[in-house]
Amino acid sequence: MAPEPLSRRQLLRDLGAAAFLWFLRPGVASALGGTLPPLGQPAPDFHLAAVTPDGRGGATDTELSLADFRGQWLVLYFYPRDFTSGCTLEARGFQRDLASFRSRGAAIAGISADDGESHQSFCGSEGLAFPLLSDLDGAVSRRYGSWIAPYSQRHTFLVDPGGTLRQVWTAVRPAGHSAEVLAALEQLQAAEPASPASL
């Protein structure tokens, strides 16, 4: 006797269950934008065109890589688009708390699929004093599990001075996010043993 063909509803239910189980597979963290890099491992490398504010109201086009931040903590935040309400709110929060991050030895860098011209305008209009990087094809965003074409997803990664990924936020709410990241940075730093150089 031949098995009964699956109905459309049964097929969709079974596919949904399989996708859910794939998403929850052990040892792999996933987010809406893909597979996240594992905590405690080296952060995925990147080398991207960037707009770096010059502190005088202008900005310069440059290129930045993960290695450029070696020796300091890095708050690497991915966001969908310049000038949108949530992205503007998030950038303003990081700008507001920038002095506190710097006093704790941390740099901030934002990544989106926007081009350099858009980043220059956004930095200028919001008075941002930290770099914004252009991931035009989403290659770096994909490495960080933060890409649903054509946009980077709102995820934040905290990388330690040695380049190790220490914390990840995926369900980011722009309001108050900067304070949340700063608190986590302070907690991680407080838990670390003092280095001989600081004694």
Measured between alpha carbons, how far is 45 from 102 in angstroms, rounded to an integer?
Answer: 22
Q: 44, 143 in Cβ contact below 8 A?
A: yes
36, 50, 75, 87: which is the annotated catalytic residue?
A: 87
Q: 45, 57 in Cβ contact below 8 A?
A: no
Alpha helices per DSSP H over the chain: 8-23, 85-96, 98-103, 116-126, 139-143, 177-191
Check if 123 is active-site: no
**E-state strands within 113-174:** 132-134, 147-148, 151-152, 155-159, 165-169
Closest CA to 155 of 101, 96, 90: 90
| Residues catalogued as catalytic | 87
